[in-house]
A = this chain, B = another copy of it.
Amino acid sequence: MKFSPLLAELISSLTCLPGVGNKSAQRMAFNLLERNREGALKLSSVLHNAMEHIRHCERCRTFTEHPVCEICQHPKRNSSGLLCIVESPQDVVAIEQTSSYQGMYFVLMGHLSPIDGIGPADIGLDELEQRLQNEPIEEVILATNPTVEGEATAHYIAQLCQQFDIGASRIAHGVPVGGELEYIDGNTLTHAFSGRRKL
């Protein structure tokens, strides 16, 4: 005998959380039972609600419990003519935290990866094509991750933009602000030099 059946089930269910193994799950289960049953009941109901109601925004594909998310409903953003393409809703959050961008988003929920069988339709590029066709978009800002797949996806979308005669730009790659040159990897330094700007 180790745990009572229900306790064992609770521990194994907690391991569905990313980064939580068996030992952490045990610690969580005992901690909740001993100290925070109310918090756990709240988590249970919010978890259920969220999984039932949070879907993708019909326009930008980010997570929201409404048919269209708050950013897409924003009139000023809608008339900005800027569309930023990112890979995940977390990227939207990161960009929003800077408060420096006031345009719209389109969330791919992934990147092109033929080796995993992820093609243009899987990352919503047909929906993006329709938006490029029907909306008054002036510039597409490609903010996919600086990985091989992210770059390939950015190039693919840039070509798509060309078809509709819409300008596409890629966010700058270079030395992070506050970083020290001697610790920056060579690849990033190369990008920083080739992307240099006149003062």
Q: Which residues of chain A have a CB within 8 Å of any CB of chain B? A: 1-7, 9-10, 13-14, 16-19, 24, 26-34, 36-37, 39-54, 63-66, 69-71, 88-90, 93, 96-97, 109
Option from B5, B14, B40, B47 in Cβ contact (under 8 Å) with A51: B40
A44 to B14, CA, bound (A): 10
Query: In the complex where A40-B51, A65-B4, A70-B4 touch, is A32 in contact with B17 (Cβ < 8 A)?
Result: yes
Q: Is the CB of B18 within 8 A of A96?
A: no
Q: Is the CB of B51 within 8 A of A44?
A: yes
CB contacts (< 8 Å) of A49 on chain B: these are 6
Give the copy number.
2
Option from B2, B6, B37, B50 in Cβ contact (under 8 Å) with A97: B2
A142 to B47, CA, bound (A): 41
Option from B33, B47, B54, B71 in Cβ contact (under 8 Å) with A43: B47
A195 to B7, CA, bound (A): 38
CB contacts (< 8 Å) of A14 on chain B: these are 43
CB contacts (< 8 Å) of A65 on chain B: these are 4-7
Option from B29, B44, B89, B90 in Cβ contact (under 8 Å) with A48: B44
